[in-house]
Each structure stands twice: as structure tokens, then as C-alpha cells.
Chains A and B, each alone.
Chain A
């Protein structure tokens, strides 16, 4: 069965880049423009994996990870943060919120897919 991946980013070009990479690899992709939209979707819809930006309006990616971990059907879902942020403090915040991993942009498509395969 096709795996469903949610990509969360306030930048349309970034969502498009992730979508192009993932659909070419056979994944099904659903998009959200910020953490709030992602959380609203996630409440009723389990995904197999979430790739989220960190800095976004309304709800940032770290808060989204924290909120998703409170949903029973997202407790074990791999949650990857994909961001231009690379500071140790931010990474630690992401880890504490319950993120599975941290990927610094610009992402390399092959490595993103390999990382996903490891955690799925």
C-alpha cells in the first residue's frame, strides 16, 4: 500500500520540491501550509510520516511535533523536521518535543529518501 506523507511548510516552493521528490519515489503526499493546518488534518487522518519546517506562522514545527505526540495515532509516527535552522539549542528543542530527526536545508533528495526509509 502506498505510504502517505505529510509535508508542512509555509513556503510553496519548498512544498513543491518535497512533493516532487516524494511522488517520484512512489509516495502519496498531502500538504499543509503551517503547523495549525497540519494538526487539524492530523486529528482525523493518520499519516505514515510527517516532514515539517520549523519557522512557520500560526504554529511552528516544534509545537506541531509536541501536539502530534499527544495524539494516540501519532505517538509512534516518524516526525522529521526540515529547516534552515541548525543550532544545537533548536535541535535539542526538537528532540525534546519528540521529533524523530532533524534535516538541515538544502536537502539532498537521495539522502532525504534514504533517511525516510530508515525511520519508516
Chain B
């Protein structure tokens, strides 16, 4: 019987939950809203997305890569577009979610030219009455990858369903299962409390003058 030894996580990801995926015979990291994970050891990364989006990013040559899971906080003062003339707080938050993931991959010896990006999520999951937060997240992430000059190798965005997502950076394979019926409200509660947490976060900078 093959041994199942949990490969060491990179130090900054030691808090991320991981489990053995019996179906695909590999270890899988499970992301909650606001988390991201980068792996060098052929692990899979899994999450469930409602209106949140995930960017899946990997180096095509080395198979080192990762995935994030985020949404933009509401930004009532700036109107509906996330890319107004002024740089909104929501946009800056999304930018950091993307940059953390990309920087951690670049630090492992990659370069921007070799990165392959796939985008997933942003469902309009809360019905016609709710604001379409998924659409804002999609608008942001599409604009970001286009401004950065990344080539999108695949995307599954929008629609009205939640998604179960599994990404393997070593092969670039992204499996998406649309959840036609969500058994309970855990997913939506989790996204809602993540969003509320974002709105309560102080917008003050960490600034230090030497």
C-alpha cells in the first residue's frame, strides 16, 4: 500500500487545512473565504465558491502554483463600477488578494511570463433580490489579469450556481462541479460573515517611518 505522508506545507500556509482526497489519490488543501495556498509538491487545492472568485495560477514549466478565494468588500461610496476614476478601497483589497498569491509563486523562482491563469466563481447565488456581488468580483478579476498582461487559459465565471472547485497546479487541471442545489446555508453564511468581516476591517495603513 502506498504511503500517505503529508508533504510539508510552505511555512506561511501551515494554518491551512489539508486532507487526503481518496477519489484523486492526492493530498488536498481546503480554502475558506479569504485564504490562499501555494504548493510545490503536487497537491490539489479545493474550495467551494458562491459569489466569491478564485484565481488559479501556476508556472507552466515547473508546475508550482496556487489558488486564492476572495471577494471585494462593498464600496457604496464609489458607485457600481469597481474601476472608477478613483481607486476604491474594494479594488485595493482585491489587488492585494491577487498580489499575495502571485508574489509567493514568483518567490519560488517563477517569472510573470511563465504564469498560466484560470478564473472561476462569481455566481449570482442569492437570487434576483440580492445585489449581484458575483458580477463585481468577476469585473475586478478579469480587469486585473488583463491589466497585468496575463493570458487566461480557462475560465468558468458567473451563472447562478455555487461551485465545488479542485485545482492541481502541477498539471493545471481545474475541475468544477456546479452545485444545482446547495443542501444547507453553510456556504452562504460563510461568505456573508467573510464579507461582514471585511467591512469591519480598519482601512488604516500600516505605515512606519524610520
Taking beta carbons and an 8 Å cutoff, which residues of A are in contact with B? 10-14, 16-17, 20-21, 24, 55, 57, 84, 86, 91, 94-95, 99-109, 111-112, 115, 118-119
Q: Does B207 contact A102, Cβ atoms closer than 8 Å?
A: yes
| B53 nearest CB across to chain A (Å) | 16
Taking beta carbons and an 8 Å cutoff, which residues of B are in contact with A? 85-87, 89, 91-93, 95-96, 99-100, 102-103, 106-107, 111-112, 144, 147-149, 203-210
| B153 nearest CB across to chain A (Å) | 19
Given contacts A12-B147, A55-B103, is CB(A17)–CB(B92) below 8 Å?
A: yes
Q: Does B203 contact A17, Cβ atoms closer than 8 Å?
A: no
Alpha-carbon distance between A54 and B59 when the two chains are bound, in angstroms: 21
Q: Does B210 contact A107, Cβ atoms closer than 8 Å?
A: no
Can you name 19 A-B residue pairings with CB atoms under 8 Å?
Answer: A12-B148, A13-B95, A17-B92, A20-B85, A20-B86, A20-B87, A24-B86, A55-B107, A84-B96, A101-B209, A102-B208, A103-B208, A105-B96, A105-B99, A106-B95, A106-B96, A108-B89, A109-B86, A111-B205
Point out the residues of chain B lying under 8 angstroms from A95, CB to CB.
Answer: 210
Cβ-closest chain A residue relative to B97 = A106
Q: Which of B89, B147, B209 contacts A119 (CB 8 A)?
A: B209
Q: Does B209 contact A112, Cβ atoms closer than 8 Å?
A: no
Q: Which of A13, A21, A109 contacts B147 (CB 8 A)?
A: A13
Alpha-carbon distance between A112 and B92 when the two chains are bound, in angstroms: 13
Q: Which of A10, A20, A108, A115 contacts B209 (CB 8 A)?
A: A115
Point out the residues of chain A lying under 8 angstroms from B111, CB to CB.
Answer: 57
Alpha-carbon distance between A111 and B204 when the two chains are bound, in angstroms: 8
Point out the residues of chain A lying under 8 angstroms from B103, CB to CB.
Answer: 55, 84
Q: Does B86 contact A105, Cβ atoms closer than 8 Å?
A: no
Q: Does B208 contact A91, Cβ atoms closer than 8 Å?
A: yes
Cβ-closest chain A residue relative to B111 = A57
Point out the residues of chain A lying under 8 angstroms from B209, CB to CB.
Answer: 100-101, 115, 118-119
Alpha-carbon distance between A109 and B95 when the two chains are bound, in angstroms: 14
Q: Which of B85, B93, B148 contacts A106 (CB 8 A)?
A: B93
Point out the residues of chain A lying under 8 angstroms from B147, CB to CB.
Answer: 12-13, 16
Cβ-closest chain B residue relative to A91 = B208
Q: Does A12 contact B87, Cβ atoms closer than 8 Å?
A: no
| B57 nearest CB across to chain A (Å) | 13
Point out the residues of chain A lying under 8 angstroms from B203, CB to CB.
Answer: 108
Point out the residues of chain A lying under 8 angstroms from B106, CB to CB.
Answer: 55, 57
Q: Does A104 contact B205, Cβ atoms closer than 8 Å?
A: yes
Alpha-carbon distance between A24 and B106 when the two chains are bound, in angstroms: 32
Alpha-carbon distance between A7 and B9 when the two chains are bound, in angstroms: 34
Point out the residues of chain B lying under 8 angstroms from A21, CB to CB.
Answer: 87
Alpha-carbon distance between A55 and B99 when the two chains are bound, in angstroms: 10
Q: Does B99 contact A14, Cβ atoms closer than 8 Å?
A: yes
Residue picked from B85, B112, B207, B209, most chain A C-beta under 10 Å: B207
Q: Does A102 contact B95, Cβ atoms closer than 8 Å?
A: no
| B87 nearest CB across to chain A (Å) | 5
